[in-house]
Amino acid sequence: MSRRPESRGARTDAPPAAPAAEPRSWVPRYLCNVLLWLLPVWAAWALATPAYNGFLLASGANLLHLTERPAVTIFHRLDADDAGVERRDFPPGRALAGSFRVTDLHFHLVLLAALFLAVPGISWRRRLENLGWAVLATVFFDIFLVFLYVKFLYATQLGTWSLAHYGALARNVYGLGKHLLDLPYKLGLPFALWAGFYLHLVGRGVSAAAAADR
């Protein structure tokens, strides 16, 4: 008998399931589905990237302006992937404080969509609904990442200006925040969201997974 936590409350006098009735695991199908979904998802992400970059920059600027009096940060699109960060209060020749690659902030959406769309044994409606919630959470994460990139730039990358305008605590908070969110949490977010929605499937067969769909 399985000793998994979920089975602790199950009746112990129930007859064991016949081996022939046990469906195969959903994992091989899932691995195959993920690989099949990668290319279409990549294509969709590449097509949506210019518009999403613009949305992220506009939303990031709005979030930054909530912390600025007066609002001084403006973004310039340098090309399809990169953006420059300008401050209106800097001298005209030195207004460009830095630049970053906006596309690098959100390529985890490819991973997220492939992981969510590939789950077998779950209705399409439920799959898309779960993906929608996960994408929404990821969009908020990406906007916050833009905010953190710029704050990190201001707090640590502008030499004496940074030292004059940001204290040691702020520099450390923005530095650690950018370090953690830019790589580990950005890359781990799709998996964390997948686990939040589908962890209950792990260890079950296909039909049991479908029955456990919630």
Partner 1 sequence: MAKKRAPLTAPPPPAAEPGPGWWRRYRREIRFLALFLLLLGAGFALVSLQWVNDHAVEPFTAGIARASGAALDLLGQHTTLQGTVIRSPRFTVNIRNGCNGVETMLIFLAAVLAFPATWRARLLGLGLGIAAIQVVNLVRVVALFLTGAYLPRLFDASHTVIWQTLVVLFGVLVWIYWANRFAADGEPAA
* Cα 27 to the center of its chain, rounded Å: 23
Q: Which stretch binds partner 1 (CB under 8 A): 106-114, 132-140, 146-154, 161-169?
A: 106-114
Residue placing its CB nearer to partner 1 in the complex, 1 or 66: 1
CB 156 within 8 A of CB 134: no
Q: Which stretch binds partner 1 (CB under 8 A): 24-32, 124-132, 142-150, 163-171?
A: 24-32
Instruction: Give the whole-angstrom CA distance, residue 175 versus residue 164.
Output: 16
Three-state SS at 186 = helix
CB 142 within 8 A of CB 56: yes
- The closest alpha carbon to 187, from 141, 136, 140, belongs to 141
CB 154 within 8 A of CB 166: yes
51 binds partner 1, rule: CB under 8 A: no
Interface residue with partner 1 among 84, 98, 120, 203 (CB under 8 A) is 203
75 binds partner 1, rule: CB under 8 A: no
25 binds partner 1, rule: CB under 8 A: yes
CB 102 within 8 A of CB 83: yes
Count of residues touching partner 1 (by CB under 8 A): 57
Residues that bind partner 1 (CB under 8 A): 1-10, 14, 16-17, 19, 21-23, 25, 27, 30-31, 34, 38, 101, 103-104, 107-108, 110-111, 114-115, 176, 179-180, 183-185, 187-188, 190-192, 194-196, 199-200, 202-205, 207-208, 211-212, 214
